Structures are given as structure tokens and as C-alpha cells.
Amino acid sequence: MKVALAGIGKIALDQHVPSIAASPDWELACTVSRSGRVDGVEAFADLPAMLEARPDVPVVSLCMPPVPRYAYAEAALLAGRHVMLEKPPGATLAEVHALQTLAAARGLTLFATWHSRMAKGVPGAKAWLADKTITRAHITWREDVRKWHPGQDWVFEPGGMGVFDPGINALSILTEILPRPVHLTGAELEFPENRQTPIAARLQFTGAVSADFDWRQEGPQTWDIDIETDAGPLALRHGGNLLLIDGEPVEGGPEAEYPALYARMTELVSAGRSEVDLAPMVHVADAMTLGRRIVTDPFDF
Ligand code: NAP
């Protein structure tokens, strides 16, 4: 299947381009980006020009930040193309609902991807937890924003979500593996005094579930989920790519999240289905609604 990749920046070049190149199912037909390019691939500077020139490309995969993404998704769906959305799927919940309605009305596939759900330990964790009683769960998601988003000021602009940009990855795992849903009951959000979005967040949910997100961690990075149950502890490490039960590794392997996303898109398009689960984003919206604001030191890249 031919795919057009739009928004040629960090994640497109780090993950999408190699995953498409390695897949027997996909061909990178062209790119859409104001400045980004992929060697040897036809490049368009704007989406309308690509949609006009390449009616043979049925799928558009959108890799730009969430705020500009809606306009691209709407235009691609209106032009009869299936659409893949990077995470988080939009800047607001309502705009993703609008895309869902549009895709359904046109019989097109809309896939709101959550790459962390494709981590190696996630299906095993979900299966093991299905018949357990969870007594406590805690997420520790601490990374260095300068390493993962070098110079990307959009993460600190309205709609950029701040530390929830990585934190939503943890929430996408949590909402996938818990046997029963939880909801947010409180949050503390630390905003740098010169920025619009939080650099750290501490969240409380029903069911003794909590989360600690921080973007100021230098040195080793931490992407851990620890769950206590009536049958012993379960832990996910390395962003979900290693599963431990009772402290013993039971499942894991090299990270291959993006190839799995494109394999899933193949299945969805073939089956004429969409997949849009907004549960992780609901928790972020609730944290922004309920969160107590703490002003902290200014942050600059
Ligand atoms: P990025 O490099 O800052 O942006 C990607 C590309 O989007 C840019 O190269 C730019 O290309 C285009 N873009 C930026 N602002 C735009 C605008 N206002 N209108 C149209 N296009 C615009 O960001 P990224 O790190 O790749 O992140 C993009 C998405 O991927 C985010 O939703 C993020 O959460 C997700 N993601 C990122 C990572 C990561 O490690 N960084 C990991 C997983 C997922 P042009 O200027 O050439 O058009």
C-alpha cells in the first residue's frame, strides 16, 4: 500500500521512514513537509498539492505536532484518503470526535495510534491482569525533554501538552492493561514561569492508581509501571517493552512499536475499520481541568 508521510521531523525520520522501508506491505510514495525531505522520495510542500497530484496514494500518515494536525487530517479524509494519526491524536477531544464522524461518513479508516501500546510487554500484562484484583498502581515516567524534544518549543505552547506528551504514552498503556477503567481525582501540575504547559505532573486516580511525570530527568531515563495485585506484583520497564511478574522477566524484546503500528494499519484498511480510543487523552484533559497549578523555575532549551 502506498503511503504519504506528512510532517517530516524527528519522529517521521526516527521511526516512520525506517518502519515503512522495512515493511513488505508499505511503500513510501511521497512526503509533505515545508522543509523536511526523505532522500529519493517525491516531496510536496503542502498537502493540497499532494492530494491533487497523487490520487494513487490511499493512505496519509500524519507526523506533525497535534495542533496543526487536525487541518491535515480533515483535508486528507475529505479527499478520500485513509488517515493515521501520531499520538496524541489531536489537540482537543472534540476535534478527534469530528474526524471520527467524518471518517465513518466516508467509509474511511482513521487510526489514532498509540505506539506504546505496541510495546512488547503490554499484551502479556493485559492478559495476566484480566482476572486479578489490583490493590495499587504507580507510573513513574521521567525523561529529559532536551534529549527527546530538542528545541521543540511547540511542546510548551498551548495544545503541546507539555510533560503529558510523553506521559500520555504511559496512560495509553495503563488504559490498555487495566481490567477496569479508573478516573482522575486530582493532579498537581508544575508550570515553568515562562511556559504555557506543565513540565511535571503528579496524578491521582480512583483505585489507588497514581502517576509521576517529570521532564527534568537527566542521566538514566525512567519509564516504569508498577502494579500490586492479589496475586503478586507486576512491573513494566523500558516503556512497556519488558514485563516482570513477581520480579521475574516473562516477556520482552527489542522495541518494535512503529512496525507494529503499520502492520495494524494494514489490517484496519483491509478490514474497512477504524480504531480511535481516546481514553488516554481523557485523563490528560481531566488533569488540565482538575489540576492544581504550581509555578516553577523558567525553562529554556
Ligand atoms: P517535530 O520534529 O517538532 O515536528 C515534526 C514536523 O512537523 C516538523 O519537522 C515540521 O515539518 C512539521 N510541523 C511542525 N509545526 C508545524 C505546523 N505548525 N504546521 C505544519 N507542520 C508543522 O516533532 P516530532 O518530535 O516529530 O513530534 C511530532 C509528533 O510525534 C508529536 O505528536 C509527538 O508527540 C509524536 N512523537 C514524538 C516522539 C519523539 O521522540 N520526538 C516520539 C513519539 C511520538 P515542516 O516544518 O518541514 O513542515
In a domain, 104, yes or no: yes
Cα gap 218→297, rounded to integer Å: 16
**Atom of ligand 1 minimally distant from the CA of 149:** 41
Question: Does pLDDT of 75 surpass 80?
Answer: yes
Are residues 147 and 247 located together in one domain of the fold? yes
pLDDT (average), residues 67-74: 98
Are residues 157 and 248 located together in one domain of the fold? yes
What's the 5 CA to ligand 1 centre distance in angstroms? Answer: 12
Beta carbon of 33 within 6 Å of any ligand 1 atom: yes
Beta carbon of 86 within 6 Å of any ligand 1 atom: yes
Instruction: Work out whether strand 42-44 and strand 27-32 pair parallel, antiparallel, or are unpaired.
Output: parallel
Question: Does pLDDT of 253 surpass 80?
Answer: no
Are residues 103 and 126 located together in one domain of the fold? no
Which residue owns the Cα nearest ligand 1 atom 40?
148
- Count up the domains in the chain and report the number: 2
Cα gap 282→32, rounded to integer Å: 30
In a domain, 260, yes or no: no
Question: Does pLDDT of 284 surpass 80?
Answer: yes
- pLDDT confidence of residue 251: 84
Which mutation among 15, 64, 114 tests ligand 1's pocket best, with the greatest number of atoms within 8 A of CB?
64
Are residues 72 and 135 located together in one domain of the fold? no
What's the 152 CA to ligand 1 centre distance in angstroms? Answer: 8
Domain encompassing residue 86: 2-112
Question: Does pLDDT of 279 surpass 80?
Answer: yes
Beta carbon of 63 within 6 Å of any ligand 1 atom: yes
CB 47 within 8 Å of CB 75: yes
Are residues 248 and 123 located together in one domain of the fold? yes
Question: Does pLDDT of 283 surpass 80?
Answer: yes
- pLDDT confidence of residue 74: 98
pLDDT band at 254 (very low <50, low <70, confident <90, very high): confident
In a domain, 223, yes or no: yes
What's the 229 CA to ligand 1 centre distance in angstroms? Answer: 38
Are residues 129 and 223 located together in one domain of the fold? yes
Are residues 174 and 292 located together in one domain of the fold? yes
> Omega before 298 cis (within 30°)?
no
Are residues 78 and 190 located together in one domain of the fold? no
Q: Determine whether 87 is an active site residue.
A: yes
In a domain, 275, yes or no: no
Choosing from 94, 112, 130, the residue where a domain stops is 112
Cα gap 71→67, rounded to integer Å: 9
In a domain, 267, yes or no: no
Q: What percentage of the chain carries pLDDT values higher than 90?
A: 98
- pLDDT confidence of residue 250: 94
Question: Does pLDDT of 102 surpass 80?
Answer: yes
Are residues 86 and 57 located together in one domain of the fold? yes
Question: Does pLDDT of 255 surpass 90?
Answer: no
pLDDT in tens, 204-251: 999 999 999 999 999 999 999 999 999 999 999 999 999 999 999 998
In a domain, 279, yes or no: no
Encoded amino acid at 244, one letter: L
| CATH at residue 16 | 3.40.50.720
What is the phi-psi region of residue 45: left when phi exceeds 0, alpha when psi lies from -120 to 50, beta otherwise? Answer: alpha
Model's pTM, two decimal places? 0.98
pLDDT band at 196 (very low <50, low <70, confident <90, very high): very high
Beta carbon of 152 within 6 Å of any ligand 1 atom: yes
Looking at 2, 10, 87, 120, which residue is catalytic? 87
What's the 59 CA to ligand 1 centre distance in angstroms? Answer: 19
Are residues 26 and 90 located together in one domain of the fold? yes
Are residues 144 and 246 located together in one domain of the fold? yes
Choosing from 90, 112, 134, the residue where a domain stops is 112
pLDDT (average), residues 127-142: 98
Torsion angle, CA of 201/122/12/113, rounded to 10 degrees? -80
In a domain, 172, yes or no: yes
- pLDDT confidence of residue 252: 80
Which residue owns the Cα nearest ligand 1 atom 29?
65
| CATH at residue 137 | 3.30.360.10
Query: How many Å from the N-terminal Cα to the C-terminal Cα in the chain?
Result: 39
Choosing from 88, 112, 136, the residue where a domain stops is 112
